[in-house]
Structure 1
Amino acid sequence: MIFFKFCNFRLPITKFCKSVLDEYPIHISQLHPLGLVKLLHFEFSCIALGHIPKITIFWAFFVLVWKSPMFTFDR
């Protein structure tokens, strides 16, 4: 519960968030809260700028990396 509260994660998740999580072979519980924040921030920034968030654009900015003990998105 604290995990979701820290990264401001709400259910139901957006289609973009689900599509990104489906692309990687990890469970959401393996993703660091700050990694999830980066994912959601990217999505909301795209929407605020009037663009549709796309996975290919997300990949241009972020990669999934292992930072013990969890995965996160890094530049």
Structure 2
Amino acid sequence: MATRTVFVGSRIGLHARPATMIATAACEYEDEITLFRAGSSVDASSSLLIMTLGAELGAEVTVASENAAAVERIASMIEQDLAS
């Protein structure tokens, strides 16, 4: 399983807009993609579940999947300021 730990780059954290963008990208993959933060894990294809992580700017999030390309793409998105 591929994993990558990153820090949230969106100034509003992983709230509505960033969470929706990440979930939309995750849905493009057949492989399950999981986000981990502070002992919680959620399916990255659900914007509502992503928001339940409460990940604010600078929060550490780990992305995991059997698909290394998916991990890299989602991790890269989490690091960006998607709120703009």
TM-score between both structures, scaled by the size of structure 1: 0.29
Q: Which has the higher strand share?
A: 2
Q: Which has the higher helix share?
A: 1
Kindly indicate whether structure 1 or structure 2 has the higher relative contact order, using CA contacts under 8 Å at least 6 residues apart. 2
The structure number with the bigger radius of gyration is 1
TM-score between both structures, scaled by the size of structure 2: 0.28
